[in-house]
Chain A
Amino acid sequence: QKEVEQNSGPLSVPEGAIASLNCTYSDRGSQSFFWYRQYSGKSPELIMFIYSNGDKEDGRFTAQLNKASQYVSLLIRDSQPSDSATYLCAVTTSNTGNQFYFGTGTSLTVIP
């Protein structure tokens, strides 16, 4: 069983719409949750992190965490063509030395 699962997509949304990216994890002991953005040919870049249940907003990005249901999501409001990238979800668990576990990523395309 994979520790972190994401829909691979591709997910396509029109410019200006809300893009919703979802991630589920298997280890209930997971403590920290991250979203990375990776443009084609580039390395992953951290865009959001969340530690507590609820929502965390940063500009056009909102991370949502629900530990009871073991999912974390990323909402991108007013999507722009520059948001087109692969989004990687990652979690860490203390019982593995806070090792990062990554999902395989969701490819997002924002259509102008």
Chain B
Amino acid sequence: KAGVTQTPRYLIKTRGQQVTLSCSPISGHRSVSWYQQTPGQGLQFLFEYFSETQRNKGNFPGRFSGRQFSNSRSEMNVSTLELGDSALYLCASRRESEKLFFGSGTQLSVL
């Protein structure tokens, strides 16, 4: 069974640009969550989608947005990038309310 797939693996952007990250969950998993991980802050919850609806949202500015498609694949978008957005972005999927499984992440560098 394939795991959670995230693309791209690495991204380099400049300030002011926008970026879109993609996540394909494990087959049968309808929940997709996004996290930001930085050395100083640990894992910070961005949002969770379930059946194309945002179910939970963390404390991030509106520049961070996401969506989920009918096949459960999800995308996360960050607009007007700032230097502080440099981080590892992790996607995780699960069945209804069960264990969370992570993808390999997208390492975003903002220059």
Contact = CB atoms under 8 A, between A and B. Distances in A.
Contacts of A42: 104
User: Which of B41, B43, B56 has the largest count of A CB atoms less than 10 A from its CB?
Assistant: B43
Contacts of A49: 99
Contacts of B92: 100
A97 interface: yes
Interface in B18-59: 33, 35, 41-43, 45, 48, 55-56
A105 B100 contact: no
Interface residues of B, number: 19
Interface stretch (A53-61, A62-70, A75-83, A88-96): A88-96
A1 interface: no
Contacts, number: 46
B48 A34 contact: no
Contact of B100 (A90, A96, A104): A90
Contact of B102 (A45, A94, A98): A45
B102 A103 contact: no
Contacts of A88: 42-43
Contacts of A98: 97
A43 B104 contact: yes
Contacts of A92: 97
A99 B45 contact: yes
Given A43-B104, A46-B101, A102 B42 contact: yes
A46 B55 contact: no
Contacts of B55: 97
27 contacts: A34-B99, A34-B100, A36-B102, A42-B104, A43-B90, A43-B102, A43-B103, A44-B43, A44-B90, A46-B101, A49-B99, A92-B97, A97-B48, A97-B56, A97-B97, A99-B45, A99-B56, A100-B33, A100-B45, A100-B100, A101-B45, A102-B35, A102-B42, A102-B43, A104-B41, A104-B42, A104-B43
